[in-house]
């Protein structure tokens, strides 16, 4: 769970919605430290070859479906989500790579 400005944000809620976007093949949402809000959500996505999914398109898709404070501050397209041998996304690896707090 991400706590942003005292509000709870559940990554799975955002991941499920983002995975419904045409062209997205995977999504992970993590909390990144923020001086003002404590943490803010960031989304890491993988995209099908030939598909064009932008950060703006993801935010636009989510806008109106979730509260504005839940919108990812950043959407980063990466080649591959780090996974364990059983296929679970290693969010700690993503935090280590992208969190700058």
Q: What is the CATH number of the domain that holds 59?
A: 3.30.300.30
Name the average pLDDT for the chain: 94
In the three-class reduction of DSSP (H, G, I as helix; E, B as strand; rest coil), residue 100 is classed as coil
Determine the Cα–Cα distance for residues 51 and 97; give it in Å rounded to an integer: 25
Quick one: pLDDT at residue 101?
53
Domains of the chain: total: 1
> Within the chain, which residues score under 70 in pLDDT?
100-101
Quick one: pLDDT at residue 98?
87
- In Å, how far are 12, 22, 31, 42, 44 from 98, measured between CA atoms? 19, 25, 10, 9, 10
Range of the domain at 25: 2-98
Please tell me the number of Cα atoms within 13 Å of 71 on its side-chain side.
15
């Amino acid at each position: 769970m991400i706590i942003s400005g005292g509000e709870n944000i559940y990554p799975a809620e955002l991941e499920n919605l983002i995975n419904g976007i045409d062209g997205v093949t995977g999504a992970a949402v993590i909390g990144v430290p923020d001086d003002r809000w404590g943490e803010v959500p960031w989304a890491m996505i993988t995209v099908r070859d030939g598909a064009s999914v932008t950060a703006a398109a993801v935010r636009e898709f989510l806008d109106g479906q979730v509260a504005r404070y839940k919108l990812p501050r950043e959407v980063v397209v990466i080649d591959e989500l780090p996974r364990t041998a059983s296929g679970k996304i290693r969010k700690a690896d993503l935090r280590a790579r992208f969190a700058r707090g």
